[in-house]
Amino acid sequence: MNKKIWWIVGIIVVVALILAVSLKPAQNSTIKIGALYPLTGGLVTYGEPSQKTAQMVVTEINNAGGINGKKFEIDFQDHKCDPKTAVAAFQQLNSVNGIKIFTSAACTGTMVSLAPMLKDGNALFVSDVLSGAKITGLSPYVFRNWGSDINESRLFADKIKQAGYKTVGVVYEETDYAKGIKINLENFLKDSGVTVVSESFPTGTTDVRTQLTKLKSEKPDILLISPQTVTSAEVVLKQMEDLNFRPKLLVNDNVTISKDLVMKHKDILEGALGANYVAPSNSKTDSILAMYKNTYGQDCPQTTVCVETYDTIHLIADAMKINGNDVAKIKAYLNSVNYDGAGGQISFDTNNDRANADYTLFLVKNGQATAVTQ
């Protein structure tokens, strides 16, 4: 009788173990990364095409078998171009959800706030659409697949010197990115005999008339407009029109890339010089743009954003195929990579900036910003 009972108990235990194993969720069946994008607010013009392109790449990778047979996923979070929001989103994804590899787009200030949280190598970012000069050398765990806007300021300074201008005005938003362009412009004009007069405004302001009136009284030969977002650029341009303040203009890349903004304010922007980082155009980029249109029924609104996001996500996926989720190994991989991307050869210099990522000048004419042949 005792033997029979023990047999029954043994069978129950075995069945229970089998059921436990069969009902237990599959472990490590997916490879997941985090993405911090501006999905609302004034830089949604970057965030939306970044997210759509990234999701398009996820589908492409999974249709080809995933990463080492595992499903590839991206957890998208809206950082709203706000450092506090970005930190909270990162902490949730990293500390709670265990995600170690991240991508991001736009807003230098958000990455500056996140960098101290990476010092122990608990996570790594491969970012694009991130141009602020402060990103250079910011962290060993932040890689930038985009050009630094220090090159933008250099282009503007060269044009100012060539034209023989003596007084340059700057109106800029008080953010790391927008102020950085102003600071670098001043550095490039140092000891050139050019006087720079500037006025700033805080994010969220709806009235910059006082700042513009002061700059107008200085009678600058040319004025640089450096906003953080399209929304703040709209405030500046509209109030310049109201004040009939119409100097020659330089505009940063956030203005240059906004087709709607350039068309809406085409009169005051006529003849303005802008700058932007531009991916090369070739059969690979044409294929990506065609894929985007086929997937979403519309053209990619920012060609370089879509191309570089496509490359960034594929670069991360390739790194994880070889190195799994190991931050140190992925960092070493990126430090020595020479990746043949749709947007050209991708490698990173000693500051983790993309090598040879130059800016292009643009001229605004008849409501369109067109690249200028040097």
Q: Give the CA distances from residue 174 to residues 39, 92, 203, 228, 230, in Å, rounded to whole numbers and listed in that order.
A: 21, 28, 7, 8, 15
pLDDT computed for residue 373 by the predictor: 73
Q: Residues 30-147+280-356: name the CATH superfamily.
A: Response regulator (3.40.50.2300)
Rounded Cα distance between 205 and 288, Å, is 38
Name the strand (E) or helix (H) holding 296: helix 283-296
Instruction: Classify domain 150-251 at the CATH topology level.
Output: Rossmann fold (3.40.50)
- Position 342: which residue type? A
Beta partners for residue 173, in sequence order? 201
Rounded Cα distance between 167 and 219, Å, is 8
Longest C-alpha distance within the chain, in Å?
Answer: 107
pLDDT computed for residue 23 by the predictor: 44
Angle CA 28–30–36, to nearest 5: 120
Pair 151, 358: CB distance under 8 Å:
yes
How many CB atoms sit inside 10 A of residue 69's CB?
Answer: 8
Give the closest residue to 188 by CA, choosing from 219, 164, 153: 153
Low-confidence residues of the chain, pLDDT below 70? 1-28, 374
Give the closest residue to 313 by CA, choosing from 122, 174, 129: 129
Two domains, one topology: 30-147+280-356 and 150-251: yes
**Domain ranges within the chain, ordered by starting residue:** 30-147+280-356, 150-251
> What digits encode the pLDDT tens for the residues 297-323?
999 999 999 999 999 999 999 999 999
